[in-house]
């Protein structure tokens, strides 16, 4: 009887998790293709896109999907399909302008081959309780720099999209340099950071650098943490340098807090952040230690992955398995109904019903159960702003100018007569 009770609990929990994910994705599933990182089908899990120059390991997959047009290597995508079905998938690539809208270029202008890439590398996971098939594809190198959207679809219909991922390829024609510092705004000096930078365009032909260069700043590889369209402060034609220094906080970002972390690489031993590891016939469930809000507390420096995650297992048997992971945020129920969410790169920092938390009186806080693959994960808690559009991490996590963050500078330019924006400069900064 005990065995059947455990079995029913396992089936019930997996059903609940899948139901929540399916409901969440269905509720926000768009009518057509959207040009952002997005999962369209609840059976698809753990989509990765990373440069092959870093290797197909945990460290390699932590790298953002950005390539140097003049360098070596390609991009590799990997993903899982839950269940016994092994459908066929194909991929295509779409060139985009700086605003992430489809450019006017034809496929032959940026690809060496026909824009249809069947995914033949597929294998069934071995030694896991949650069954899935793992797919992998190395993308071809493109011929032009710029923004791109990878689209993976099922079967033969391009409209049956299962996920999309953005990536960039840059041509290093313009060099960028800068620094991250405390905000100049005295009232935000302890909570915000600013990025001052300059561009050197050398012999690169730019008719009007003040108007022709389009610059984007991004924090921690998050698309919800970017500043675009910054105008230069000063231009030196002699040095062919464009200075970007600001006095109205245009280049300011909330410093945020160091990301929280949990480690579920082992089926047998509890990793960092894990309070309980349950082995059931149909799954291994994880409950994390309860978290408290950090806002208003003293900044604490910890090692993190800037919100990223790395799929990995320490077990010497089988492939990485999937665990239902339960998060608990200890706090009173909010009166404004702006419930918290669990965010991280593993869910594209998107607020959906799948990672929305719900108040549990017995737990004295908010809880969410999310199905994730074995590995090491960074995460944070957020609430939507009053308008429900922007994620406000600081309300729960706090914001500190001492927080260590990664920033990127993207420089776009459209040459005279060209029909698309090119990415002609890229630089990474750390504070």
Enumerate the β-bridge partners of residue 333. none
Taking the C-alpha atoms of residue 408 and residue 54, their distance in angstroms, rounded to an integer, is: 18
Domain count, the chain: 3
> How large is the average pLDDT for residues 186-209?
93
> How many secondary structure helices (H) and strands (E) does the chain include?
5, 29
Of 149, 170, 191, which residue sits at a domain end?
A: 170
* First-last CA distance in the chain: 58
User: Domain check: are 189 and 64 in the same one?
Assistant: no
Please, what's the b/e burial string for 153-163 (b: 16 or more CB within 10 A of its CB; e: otherwise)?
A: bbeeeeeebbb
Of 113, 143, 170, which residue sits at a domain end?
A: 170
> How large is the average pLDDT for residues 19-24?
47
User: Domain check: are 150 and 240 in the same one?
Assistant: no
User: Domain check: are 313 and 417 in the same one?
Assistant: no
User: Domain check: are 289 and 374 in the same one?
Assistant: yes
Q: With 50 as the cut, is the pLDDT of residue 226 above it?
A: yes
User: Domain check: are 374 and 289 in the same one?
Assistant: yes
pTM as predicted: 0.91
| Domain carrying residue 103 | 36-170
Structural domain includes residue 11: no
User: Domain check: are 142 and 56 in the same one?
Assistant: yes
User: Domain check: are 324 and 237 in the same one?
Assistant: no
Structural domain includes residue 360: yes
Structural domain includes residue 26: no
Q: With 80 as the cut, is the pLDDT of residue 11 above it?
A: no
Taking the C-alpha atoms of residue 69 and residue 370, their distance in angstroms, rounded to an integer, is: 37
Of 170, 185, 218, which residue sits at a domain end?
A: 170
Q: With 70 as the cut, is the pLDDT of residue 336 above it?
A: yes
User: Domain check: are 420 and 384 in the same one?
Assistant: no
Cβ proximity of 142 and 169 under 8 Å: yes
CATH of the domain at 42: 2.60.40
User: Domain check: are 387 and 261 in the same one?
Assistant: yes
User: Domain check: are 165 and 195 in the same one?
Assistant: no
Task: Tell me the pLDDT band of 27, cut-offs 50, 70 and 90.
Answer: very low
Q: What is the pLDDT of residue 281?
A: 86
Task: Tell me the pLDDT band of 14, cut-offs 50, 70 and 90.
Answer: low
User: Domain check: are 261 and 392 in the same one?
Assistant: yes
Question: Which of left, alpha, beta for 405 (phi over 0: left; psi -120 to 50: alpha)?
Answer: beta
Q: With 90 as the cut, is the pLDDT of residue 397 above it?
A: yes
Q: What is the pLDDT of residue 54?
A: 61
Q: What is the pLDDT of residue 4?
A: 43
User: Domain check: are 157 and 261 in the same one?
Assistant: no
Of residues 70, 17, 6, 28, the one with CA closest to residue 367: 17
Structural domain includes residue 83: yes
Structural domain includes residue 29: no
């Amino acid at each position: 009887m005990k065995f059947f009770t455990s079995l029913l609990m396992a089936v019930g929990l997996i059903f609940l998790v899948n139901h929540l994910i399916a409901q969440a994705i269905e509720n926000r599933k768009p009518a057509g293709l959207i040009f952002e990182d997005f999962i369209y089908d609840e059976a698809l899990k753990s989509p990765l896109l990373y440069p092959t120059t870093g290797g197909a390991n945990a460290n390699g997959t932590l790298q953002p999907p950005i390539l140097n047009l003049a360098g070596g290597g390609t991009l590799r995508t990997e993903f899982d399909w839950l269940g016994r079905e092994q459908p066929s998938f194909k991929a295509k690539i779409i060139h985009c302008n700086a605003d992430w809208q489809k450019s006017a270029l034809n496929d032959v202008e940026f690809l060496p081959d026909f824009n249809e890439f069947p995914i033949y590398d597929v294998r069934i996971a071995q030694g896991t309780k949650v069954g899935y098939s793992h797919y992998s594809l190395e993308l071809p190198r493109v011929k032009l720099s710029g923004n791109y959207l990878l689209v993976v679809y099922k079967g033969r219909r391009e409209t049956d999209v299962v996920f999309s991922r953005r990536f960039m390829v840059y041509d290093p024609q313009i060099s960028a340099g800068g620094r991250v510092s405390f905000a100049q705004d005295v009232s935000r000096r302890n909570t915000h950071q600013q990025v001052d930078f300059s561009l050197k365009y050398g012999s690169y032909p730019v008719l009007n650098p003040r108007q022709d260069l389009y610059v984007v700043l991004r924090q921690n590889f998050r698309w919800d943490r970017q500043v675009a369209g910054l105008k230069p402060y000063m231009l030196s034609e002699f040095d062919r340098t464009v200075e970007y220094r600001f006095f109205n906080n245009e280049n300011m970002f909330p410093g945020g807090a160091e990301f929280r972390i949990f480690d579920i690489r082992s089926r047998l031993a509890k990793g960092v952040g894990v309070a309980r590891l349950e082995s059931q016939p149909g799954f291994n469930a994880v409950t994390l230690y309860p978290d408290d809000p950090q806002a208003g507390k003293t900044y604490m420096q910890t090692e993190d992955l800037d919100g990223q995650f790395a799929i990995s297992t320490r077990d010497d048997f089988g492939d990485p398995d999937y665990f239902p992971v339960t998060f608990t945020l200890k706090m009173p129920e909010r009166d404004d109904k702006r419930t918290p969410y669990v965010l991280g790169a593993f869910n594209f920092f998107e607020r959906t019903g799948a990672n929305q938390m719900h108040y549990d009186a017995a737990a004295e806080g908010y809880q969410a159960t999310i199905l994730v693959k074995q590995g090491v994960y960074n995460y944070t808690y957020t609430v939507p702003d009053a308008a429900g559009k922007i994620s406000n991490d600081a309300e729960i996590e706090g914001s500190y100018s001492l927080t260590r963050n990664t920033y990127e500078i993207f420089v776009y330019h459209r040459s005279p007569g060209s029909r698309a924006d090119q990415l002609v400069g890229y630089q990474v900064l750390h504070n």
